[in-house]
Structure 1
Amino acid sequence: MLLPMAAPDFPTALREASLRVTQPRLAVLNAVHEHPHADTEALIGHVRARLGTVSHQAVYDVLRALTEAGLLRRIQPAGATARYEARVGDNHHHVVCRSCGAIADVDCAVGHAPCLTASDDHGFVVDEAEVVYWGTCPECAAVRTA
């Protein structure tokens, strides 16, 4: 039997990141947790549905602050708009549909972040690797074959 996931404690997460707890920050965290890989425009819509009036700039500022604090991760596959996710602290990757732009998380294939061992790091201290898999999602593939 699967137990329900505990709701994230956003106020505590904000305080631990030395950020004030504000309604816009809580609303953005909720929106990103409920809609992983959403772009900024979609997140603005979700935040406005929760709070009412909030400016584009306020949401952009909150996204930047939460990303800099490590509470969110900003991803931007080639040719796509920036997206945000709450899955941070691991080195997972993404698969992107070439047709509709859907994005899903992909864990490292083997072991603990093997992609961080570059064949030649040229003296860099590597702390993150970005791998993007491209293809066609099941829904778009079904439409093509229909």
Structure 2
Amino acid sequence: MTTVTPRANSELVAVAWLGSAAGIDPGQVATTLPSDASTWADDGFLQVTPGIGGSMQLHYALREPVVQVEAYAVNVNSGKPPWGKAASLMEAVVAATYDEAGMQRTLTLRPGFPQARVLTAHLLTEPRRMPDDAASYARYVTDLALHWIEL
């Protein structure tokens, strides 16, 4: 029986890159929104959905995915969505795409996986407000293009 070697993937890279950006805590980013809103109510949460689009280079190992990023905020004691908190969290994502010092750095992924490096990152869409959430969450959505390599 052969053992499959863990490899970096766009989901892991996007979560690690966002979690290493200024103003964003690594615990604020994942592919699944935590069910207990009280655990992220203070600072908000970023959910990453891979597979929105993108491509891979034919002759060398450069990945160019597009991932969806959703910034969530909630008032656990009120039904009023905290739009300002969600907007501020999304603006931290926007700022990260302009932070040249934040590019080209080595990212540590989950244990057992190789490291990766994001070469560039940019938004493909202006962050947009998503009203009428049944849970009264404030939510902004954007599409993020990453260019990364496995190390």
After TM superposition, the score normalised by the length of structure 1 is: 0.31
User: Greater share of strand residues, 1 or 2?
Assistant: 2
Rg larger for? 1
**Higher relative contact order (CA closer than 8 Å, sequence separation 6+):** 2
